[in-house]
A = this chain, B = another copy of it.
């Protein structure tokens, strides 16, 4: 399933004159952004701060994620070199996940995003309420 033979890292999107976000598969920035900004990836990265965590521990902490999605997500992050996977060959299998140096760098950015969200959720909620009220009023001018 992995056509993975990507000898070409893939730079394109000539940022020369006309800036453009496009080139969906040409440039992999879009693709990487998608992976990173993924619902679960985001949470895993944010969670894996300094300490390493075990599979089950992650599953418990994130809660809502299925075993499948956690596995898939972790595999992707591992493939991208953001998370390291350490298997301890003991009787009850024990696997630790931790951020790689590369992952740590990303963590900082992600964390600021999370922090921003936390400190502005009230404003967003307010904006939504206002928008919904206005919309409802327009839709059905009750009076």
Contact = CB atoms under 8 A, between A and B. Distances in A.
A129 interface: yes
Given A9-B122, A81-B123, A136-B2, A20 B128 contact: no
A4 B110 CA distance: 28
Chain A contact residues (Cβ within 8 angstroms of B): what range? 35 or more
A21 B127 contact: no
A86 to B, nearest CB: 15
Contact of A81 (B38, B113, B131): B131
Contacts of A10: 121-122, 125
Interface centre among A5, A110, A124, A129 (most CB of B within 10 A): A124
Given A112-B109, A128-B79, A121 B29 contact: yes
A63 B47 CA distance: 33
A124 B80 contact: yes
Given A21-B62, A116-B105, A127 B33 contact: no
B29 A64 contact: no
